[in-house]
Structure 1
Amino acid sequence: MPPLTLAHQHLHGVTVIAVTGEMDATNRADLETYLREAQAAPAKRLVFDLSGVPFMDSSGLHVLLKCATDCLKAGGAVHLAAVQPLPARLFEITGVVAHIPVHERVEDAVTAALDSSERSI
């Protein structure tokens, strides 16, 4: 299995986190650590670019849900983008799609995150 690679970009009002590789129990701690570091100067809105994630188990899902909960408590939100079929099925089965916005493209997710940010001001 290829290693999980993570990158982030701080934009005005939103941080985009690009994830590549499988998100599972073997790299959960790495993902949690990275998210804490990426949010050191956090935007209240996060977009996860999941276009490079072919597989996600409940461990990866748990990290995303915890991150979404933490952002919500801080007055922000998490948006998911470019989700591949297997993770999309996991989100559908677990009902995540009813609680975290999922967008076809990263650009759409960034726009939605910024729009929701402006409405909450």
Structure 2
Amino acid sequence: MPPLKLAHQRPRGVIVIAVNGEMDATNRAQLEAYVRELPVDLARGMVFDLSGVPFMDSSGLHVLLRCATDCLRNGGTVHLAGVQPLPARLFEITGVAAYVPVHDTVETAVAALTSAGHSL
């Protein structure tokens, strides 16, 4: 599987990580390393833009859940945005969507974090 294309930005002080490519066991470590190297304030939370992720297996899901758990322990939350149909089905089957906020767009995810008091 080709490596993921990863990028980040900070609209309104919220870190948004854009993920492009299929997320599975072959590139899980790449995403983990990328997130670990970013200067993230876990108390503020973060947004994962998954609009470029057509497929995700349990390995990718595990990375997102680990980030969500780390943020939660520090008072923040992880929000997901732009989730495509196959990953959305994975979130539905596993029940993740009940615990990790899912938004149609990055803009609505960022707005949800900033309105919750997690912005600068």
What is aligned with 1:33? Answer: 33
Measure the CA separation in 1 of the matches of 2:2 and 2:34: 17
Question: When the two structures are superposed, what TM-score results if normalisation uses the length of structure 2?
Answer: 0.92
What is aligned with 1:78? Answer: 78
What is aligned with 1:58? Answer: 58
The alpha carbon displacement at 1:93 in A equals 0.3
How big is the alpha-carbon RMSD for the aligned residues of Structure 1 and Structure 2? 1.3
Measure the CA separation in 2 of the matches of 1:52 and 1:98: 22
Question: When the two structures are superposed, what TM-score results if normalisation uses the length of structure 1?
Answer: 0.91
Structure 1 segments of 4 or more deviating over 4 A?
A: none
Deviations 1:43-73 (A, max 9, x none): 6220100000000000000000000000011
Measure the CA separation in 2 of the matches of 1:3 and 1:59: 14
What is aligned with 1:42? Answer: 41
Residue pairs, 1:17-28, within 5 angstroms: 17-28=17-28
Measure the CA separation in 1 of the matches of 2:108 and 2:8: 17
- Structure 1: segments with no counterpart, 5+ residues: none
Identity %: 70
Deviations 1:99-118 (A, max 9, x none): 00000111000000111126
Aligned residues: 117
